[in-house]
Structure 1
Amino acid sequence: MVFSLSLYCFSPGLFRWGDYVRQTNPFSGQDRVEQDFTPTSRELACLYGLPPRPGQPPLLSSSHTSSSSESELTAANSIPNVAHFIFLQKLPLDHAGQGDFNFLSYLSVRSAIVSLKPTKVLLHYGYVGDEAHRSSEGDGADPLIRNNEWIERLRHDVEFVRHDGPLNSSLQHSEHLADKLRLEILLEHGGIYLDIDAFALRPFTHVLESPHPHDVVMGNEGGNRAGLCNAVMAARPNSTFVKRWLETYETADLNAEWNYHSVLLPKQLAGQHPDEICELPPDSFFWPTWTWRHVEWMHEPLDQADTRRWQKRIQRTGGSLFDNQLAYHAWSQMARDRYLRRLTPEVVRNEDTRFNLLVRRFIAEDL
C-alpha cells in the first residue's frame, strides 16, 4: 500500500500504466463485464411496460389512456416522479471553502431536472468528519449550502434535506456512507434515486409504471449481469424488497467488502423474490460499464464524422447513446482522475467526446 501511494505521488504516469495493465490483462475479469448481451423479454417488459398480474387492474401509460379517470389511476399507482440525490460533505470544507460539490455534481442534478421533469428534486445532505458533530448541535451552521457556488445555481429548483443522524465514521470507503441512507429514503418516500455522478438522459415514464408488487426497478450491471447496481433505481414507498435489503445491513461489515451489499446482494434477492422487482437490461442505466476500456470509450476525443454521427443518434433517441438507455452512470471511482476532474463548462462545451455530447445540454446558458 505504501509503495502504491509513493508511486502515485512521485510517478503518476507509471502508476497509471500499472493500473492499465492490472485492469486490461486477460485475468482481470473485465472481459466478462464487457461481454455482449441481448435484452431479455422480461427486461424489455420492465423497461417499456410490464403487463399486470392476473386479477389486478391495468396500469396504463399516459399514451394509452382514454379518459381522465384512467390517467388519474395511473398517476396514483405509479412510482413517484421525485428525484433524490445524496451528498455527504467532509468538514472542514476544502476548495477555498466551497466544499466538494462541484461542476459534475451540479450537472448530475441538472440532468434530473431537465430529463425527468420531476414533481420535485430533493438533495439529501449531511456532514462527516471530526467537525461534523459541531455542525449538528443546533448552531445553524450550514457551510455547504451557504457557500457553494454550484448549489447556489440549483437553489430555486431543488429542496435541500439535511440529515443530522449518526453516520458511520469508521467506514473506510466513503461511498458506503450513503448506501443505507438511500434505501431508507426510498422506503419512506419512494421515487427515483441517482448517485451524484449519474445522469438522467430521458424520462422514466414506463419504468415508473411498473405494476405492484414489482415495486422496485433496478438495472443490471455488466453484460454478464452479475449484479444490480444501486447507483440508479426507482421504488414505491414501503417496498417489501427495500425492507428485505435494508434488514441485511444490520449485520453487515462494509469495511470487509466493496460492492456486495450494493450490487451483488440485490441480484441475489431478486432471484429469491422475482415478483418484488423489475430488472432492466444492462444498457438502461449502466452501459458503458466501469471497465478501463469502456470509460476510455466514453471520454476519447471524436473526429468530426463521429461527432455528427453520435449527435444524430442522441437526437434520434431523445437524449441517449442507445435505444434502451435512460441514464448513464459516470463511474467516478474509475474515471475521476483520468477524465472527470478536468471537466469544466468550457471543456464540456468545446471538446467532443461521447460523454460531453450526452451532458452538454444540461449546462445552463449563462455558464
Structure 2
Amino acid sequence: MNVLQHAPRRRPRYDGNEARSLVPSMIGFLCISTLSTVVAISVQDHAGADQTFQQQKQPPQSNDLLSDAPPLLQWDRSCGAWGTCAPVTEATDIGKKAVRIDAPADEWTDTTLRWRVEIGKEPDDCILVLSARLRLLGVMEKAKPAAQVRLALEADGGVSSARCEVHDDPPGEHPMDLRVSCGRRALLQGGSTSRASVVFGLAAVRSAASVALESLSLRCAANTEVATASTSPAPPPSIPPLLHFIFGLSPDFGGKPFGLVHHLVIKSALHFASPATARFYYAHEPSGKWWAQTLPLLSPRLVMAPPAVFGRPLRRFAHKADVIRLELLLQFGGVYLDLDVMLLAPITPLMQSHELVLAHEGIDGSIGLGNALMLTRPNSTFMRRWYGAYTNFSDHVWNGFSVRFPLKLALEMPTAVHVLDYGAFYWPPWNAWGVAQLYRSSRCLLRGATAVHLWETKVWRTLLSELTPEDLHAQTSCFANMARAVLSGSYDFETATLRPGELAEENVAVLHSTSLLTHLLGAPTPRGPVVNLAACENLSGNDCVAWAKAGECEKNPQFMQVSCRRACSLCND
C-alpha cells in the first residue's frame, strides 16, 4: 500500500496577503473563460448574431406613408365647376390643429383639398388604405345640411377614371371615420408619374356646414390585411338611388302646407324608386298630422332659399326652387320630384340605362321639357349647360329657363339626354281639360305611364287642402282611384287607367262651366274660394302684360291663353 495515499492532508493556510494575491488570478480566469464561451458562440452562430445586431441598430420598417393630416399650407385648394370655394382654415378648438372647411348657407360651394404623396416605391400588389376622422363643428341642427364629404385617392397624370373614393353625409354629433382602399397597380395604370393625391372635400348646396379633418393616415397594406379592398377604381356610376324633394322655401309654404297628397306622393316614390335615401329639403319645417307620419320615411335637410343665381336676383319662390333643384342634381345626382308628381311604375330601368331622363310637356314638347320629374347622374353635361344658362336669367317669361330652355338645348344635344314622350310623366296636361280628366273622370291614366302630374295649384284650395282618406273613399275620380291604391299599399292603378282602345272623356259640360272646380268636387258648397277658370283675367298677375308685349301670346299659346287671357286680348268685353 502506498503510504502516500494514507498520508494526512493538511488544510491550506492562507494569510491575508495570499488571499489578495489570488483574487486577480481568479477574476482573470473567469473573464477568460467567459470570453472564450462568448467567442465560441459567436463563431458557431455568426450569421444569426450579425443579423440580430443589425436589426437592433436599424429603425423598424414602417409601411405608413402618412401618419397625420398635413398642415394647412401643404394642401392645394380647388373649386367645383359651378360651386364657389368655401373658406379653408385651421381648427384650433378641438384640442389640436386640423384643417377645416366652412360652407356658408347662402351659396352652393364645392371645395376640394389635395395633398400629393409619392407611392412609387411601394410594392405593386400592395393595397393603399386611406383613413380619415372627420368632425362637425358648430351647433348640430335638427336637420342635416344639404352637404356631402368625400375622401379619395387619385393618380397624378393618370387616366381620368383612376380614382378610388367614398362619399358620405357630414358627421353628426360624434366624429366620423371614413376609409378608402385602392390597389396601387390599378390606381397608377396609364399614369405618367408615381405620385398620387389624397383628396378631402366638402360640397354644400345652399346649406351651412363646417367640417374639420381631425386625423389622416395612408399606409400600404398586404392583400390579406384588407378584406374588403377596392382593388381597382370604380366604373362610372348609374343614376344614384337618391330621391330629392323640395318644400317650404317660403314661410307660408306658398299657401299649400304639407298635407295628405304630399304624403301619398312620397309614399309612392319610395315604393317605385327604391332609393337608398329620400332627402327632403326645407328652409321652414312643415308641421301637422301628415308631416308627422311622413318624417320617419325621410332624411330632412336644412337649406336656404337662394336669393340669387350668378348675381341675378330670384324674386319668386318658384324660380328659387327651379335653381336649387338643378344645383342639387348637379352636385349629387339622383331623382328629383315635385311634391305633386306621383310615380306609377318602377323607374330603376331608366336609372340604370341613361345619364339623364326628361319628358316632353305638351304634345311633342309644345310647352317644353318638364322639370317636375328629372333623373340624372351627377354633373351631367346637359345639366351643366342648362344651369349655365342662368347667367342670363330673367323672369320675364315664367317658364323660359325651367321648361322652354331645356327643350331648345335637347335639340342641340340630342345624345346628352333621353327624352320621353309627354305621356310618360305629364298626362293629363295642365290645362282645364286635363284637370277635368284627373278630378272628374273615373279613368285618365295612360297604360305604360311612369308618373302623373297632379297640378295641385289649380285645385289646392277647393279640393286638396283639406283632403282626408274619407274623401278618397267617397269619390270615384281618377285621382281618388289612384290615391286609394297608394294609401292602401296595393299600388294597383287599374281602376284609374284607360282601358285598351278607350278614349279620354271630353267633359264638354265641365270645360264650359263657369265653375270647373265646383263640378270637380261634386259638392254643393265648395270648401274655399272657387277659381273661375272661364273668367277672362290674368291669372299670373302683372307679369302677363310684360309677357304679352314680348310676344309670348304667340310663342307660348298653351300657357298664355289660360293664364293671361286678358293680356292676350282674348276677352269679349
Q: Check if 1:82 corresponds to 2:229.
A: no
Alignment TM-score, normalising by the size of structure 1: 0.63
Paired residue secondary structure (2:405): helix
Amino acid across the alignment from 2:325: R
Contact 1:210 1:278 in 2 (8 A): no
Q: Check if 1:296 corresponds to 2:436.
A: yes
Q: CA deviation at 1:332?
A: 2.1
Contact 1:111 1:359 in 2 (8 A): no
Q: CA deviation at 1:121?
A: 0.8
Contact 2:265 2:339 in 1 (8 A): yes
Structure 1 partner of 2:487:
363
Q: CA deviation at 1:148?
A: 3.3
Q: Check if 1:274 corresponds to 2:399.
A: no
Among candidates 364, 371, 378, match of residue 230 of structure 1: 371
Structure 2 partner of 1:341:
465
Once the two structures are superposed, what CA deviation does each residue of 1:36-89 show, in whole Å capped at 9, x if it has no partner? xxxxxxxxxxxxxxxxxxxxxxxxxxxxxxxxxxxxxx9963212221110024
* Bigger mean CA deviation after superposition, 194-203 or 112-121: 112-121
* Bigger mean CA deviation after superposition, 86-95 or 185-194: 86-95
**What CA distance in whole angstroms lies between the structure 2 residues aligned with 1:198 and 1:278?**
19
Structure 2: gaps (5+ residues): 1-233, 490-573
Q: CA deviation at 1:184?
A: 0.6
Q: CA deviation at 1:272?
A: 0.5
Q: CA deviation at 1:91?
A: 2.7
Q: CA deviation at 1:362?
A: 2.4
Structure 2 partner of 1:195:
338
Cα gap change, 1:93 to 1:354, in 2 (>3 Å): closer
Q: CA deviation at 1:183?
A: 0.6
Contact 1:86 1:195 in 2 (8 A): yes
Paired residue secondary structure (1:80): coil
Q: CA deviation at 1:287?
A: 0.7
Cα gap change, 1:239 to 1:112, in 2 (>3 Å): same
Contact 1:89 1:100 in 2 (8 A): no
Amino acid across the alignment from 1:290: W
Cα gap change, 1:334 to 1:172, in 2 (>3 Å): farther
Structure 1 partner of 2:546:
none
**What CA distance in whole angstroms lies between the structure 2 residues aligned with 1:239 and 1:93?**
30
Q: When the two structures are aligned, how many residues end up with a matched partner?
A: 253
**What CA distance in whole angstroms lies between the structure 1 residues aligned with 2:239 and 2:472?**
33
**What CA distance in whole angstroms lies between the structure 2 residues aligned with 1:364 and 1:75?**
40
Structure 1 partner of 2:543:
none
**What CA distance in whole angstroms lies between the structure 1 residues aligned with 2:245 and 2:466?**
23
From the CA coordinates, give the structure whose radius of gyration is larger.
Answer: 2
Structure 1 partner of 2:320:
177
Cα gap change, 1:93 to 1:275, in 2 (>3 Å): closer
**What are the equivalent positions in structure 2 for 1:106-255 lying under 5 Å apart?**
106-127=263-284, 144=285, 147-164=287-304, 166-168=306-308, 171=314, 173-211=316-354, 215-226=355-366, 227-254=368-395
Once the two structures are superposed, what CA deviation does each residue of 1:80-113 show, in whole Å capped at 9, x if it has no partner? 2221110024336899xxx812222222111111
Cα gap change, 1:271 to 1:92, in 2 (>3 Å): closer
**What CA distance in whole angstroms lies between the structure 2 residues aligned with 1:225 and 1:119?**
32
Structure 2 partner of 1:286:
426
Specify which structure has the higher proportion of helix. 1
Structure 2 partner of 1:50:
none
Structure 1: gaps (5+ residues): 1-73, 128-143, 303-309, 311-319
Paired residue secondary structure (1:243): helix
**What CA distance in whole angstroms lies between the structure 2 residues aligned with 1:243 and 1:185?**
12
Q: CA deviation at 1:182?
A: 0.5
Provide runs of 4+ in structure 1 moved above 6 Å: 92-95
Contact 2:249 2:317 in 1 (8 A): no
**What CA distance in whole angstroms lies between the structure 2 residues aligned with 1:155 and 1:280?**
32
Task: Report which structure shows greater RCO (CA 8 Å, sep ≥6).
Answer: 1
**What CA distance in whole angstroms lies between the structure 2 residues aligned with 1:345 and 1:172?**
36
RMSD over aligned Cα atoms: 2.8
**What CA distance in whole angstroms lies between the structure 1 residues aligned with 2:253 and 2:244?**
23
Identity percentage of aligned residues = 30
**What CA distance in whole angstroms lies between the structure 2 residues aligned with 1:336 and 1:245?**
30
Contact 1:299 1:339 in 2 (8 A): no
Contact 2:361 2:422 in 1 (8 A): yes
Q: CA deviation at 1:225?
A: 1.7
**What CA distance in whole angstroms lies between the structure 1 residues aligned with 2:461 and 2:432?**
12
Amino acid across the alignment from 1:198: V
**What CA distance in whole angstroms lies between the structure 1 residues aligned with 2:305 and 2:434?**
37
**What are the equivalent positions in structure 2 for 1:66-77 lying under 5 Å apart?**
77=237
Cα gap change, 1:75 to 1:193, in 2 (>3 Å): farther
Q: Check if 1:327 corresponds to 2:451.
A: yes
**What CA distance in whole angstroms lies between the structure 2 residues aligned with 1:103 and 1:196?**
11
Specify which structure has the higher proportion of strand. 2
Q: CA deviation at 1:176?
A: 1.5
**What CA distance in whole angstroms lies between the structure 1 residues aligned with 2:254 and 2:348?**
39
Alignment TM-score, normalising by the size of structure 2: 0.41
Contact 1:203 1:326 in 2 (8 A): yes
Once the two structures are superposed, what CA deviation does each residue of 1:171-228 show, in whole Å capped at 9, x if it has no partner? 55432220010011111111110001111111112211234xxx21001011142210
Once the two structures are superposed, what CA deviation does each residue of 1:160-181 show, in whole Å capped at 9, x if it has no partner? 0111364359655432220010
Contact 2:306 2:320 in 1 (8 A): no
**What CA distance in whole angstroms lies between the structure 1 residues aligned with 2:448 and 2:470?**
29
Contact 2:240 2:333 in 1 (8 A): yes
Cα gap change, 1:92 to 1:297, in 2 (>3 Å): closer
Q: CA deviation at 1:301?
A: 5.3
Amino acid across the alignment from 1:103: L
Amino acid across the alignment from 1:273: M
Paired residue secondary structure (1:276): coil
Contact 1:301 1:351 in 2 (8 A): no
Paired residue secondary structure (1:83): strand
